[in-house]
């Protein structure tokens, strides 16, 4: 089955906002006196804001009410949005423009499949919004990765069969979601070193051209 569409995860694939997520959670965790480090940060890749908070609170000695949790998540998102204000088109990950341009040239559709509710803001700041035929994000789904919902929604918006899509992901949760969606997957970033459910491993985004077109 040939590949007719590429569905890109956003944070940690097309832009380094995975680092901003980490910094914003770290600021919140420090204020709460909760231990949080980069390996814990890797567990948050791909999962929703509230699920991320639950992972962080596992290390807390006290319990939080749901109102307190909402307040902590909102605080983190405020810190994160402050960091997003620094983003410019120059912050698109190396190779992003090239791989999107190659897809356009070949007639391969491109979409975003992200758990983030900040996706529209990030794409705007990067000046990338107009390049995607479909965007599926955290504002439109009930279940975040590893559930396949966001990728299936992207494929539906593209009107392309899931089996003709390849997902590019930096998160274990996202690779599992791609598999559950019946899609191919390519891992990039630190996840390439773990026994993830990926069909391909990329050291650079440009390597995707060889995966799709040989």
Ligand X SMILES: O=P(O)(O)OC[C@H]1O[C@@H](O)[C@H](O)[C@@H](O)[C@@H]1O
Binding site for Mg ion (CB under 5 A): 9, 11-12, 170-171
CB of 33 to Mg ion, least distance (A): 28
Q: Rule CB under 6 A: which of 21-60 touch ligand X? A: 21, 44-49, 52
72 binds ligand X (CB under 6 A): no
Spell out the residues 6+ positions from residue 2 whose beta carbon is closer than 8 angstroms to its own: 164
CB 131 within 8 A of CB 109: no
The site string for ligand X over 159-178 (x = CB under 6 A, - otherwise) reads: ------------x-------
Query: What are the DSSP calls for 128-159, one per residue?
Result: -GGG-SEEE-TTS-SS-TTSSHHHHHHHHHHT
The yes-or-no answer on residue 11 being catalytic is yes
Angle in degrees, CA 115, 48, 96, rounded to 5: 35
Q: Is 161 a catalytic residue?
A: no
Shortest spacing between CB 87 and Mg ion, in angstroms: 15
With CB under 5 to 8 Å by kind, the binding choice for 114 among ligand X, Mg ion, none is: ligand X
The phi, psi pair for 123, rounded to 5°, reads -60, -40
How far is residue 101's CA from residue 87's CA, in Å, rounded to a whole number? 21
Active-site residue identified among 9, 42, 137, 147: 9
Q: How far is the CB of 98 from Mg ion (least distance, A)?
A: 20
**Stretch 100-129: interaction string toward ligand X, x if CB under 6 A:** --------------xxxxx-----------
- Cβ atoms of residues 5 and 160 within 8 Å: yes
Give catalytic residues, as residue numbers: 9, 11
Would you tell me which residues interact with ligand X (CB under 6 A)?
Answer: 10-11, 21, 44-49, 52, 77, 114-118, 138, 171
């Amino acid at each position: 089955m040939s590949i007719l569409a590429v569905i890109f995860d956003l944070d940690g694939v097309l832009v380094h906002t995975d680092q901003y997520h980490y910094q914003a959670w770290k600021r919140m965790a420090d204020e709460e006196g909760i231990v949080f480090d980069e390996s814990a940060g890797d567990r948050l890749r791909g999962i929703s804001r509230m699920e991320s908070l639950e992972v962080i609170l596992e290390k807390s000695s006290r319990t939080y009410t749901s109102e307190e949790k909402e307040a902590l998540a909102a605080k983190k998102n405020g810190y994160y949005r402050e960091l997003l204000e620094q983003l410019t088109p120059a912050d698109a990950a190396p190779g992003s423009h090239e791989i999107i341009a190659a897809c356009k040239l070949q007639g391969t559709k491109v979409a975003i499949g992200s758990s983030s509710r900040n996706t529209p803001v990030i794409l705007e700041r990067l000046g990338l919004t107009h390049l995607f035929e479909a965007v599926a994000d955290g504002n439109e789904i009930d279940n975040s990765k590893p559930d396949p919902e966001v990728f299936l929604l992207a494929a539906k918006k593209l009107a392309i069969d899931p089996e003709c899509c390849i997902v590019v992901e930096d998160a274990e949760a996202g690779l599992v979601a791609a598999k559950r969606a019946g899609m191919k997957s390519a891992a990039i970033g630190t996840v390439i070193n773990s026994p993830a459910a990926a069909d391909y491993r990329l050291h650079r985004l440009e390597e995707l051209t060889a995966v799709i077109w040989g």
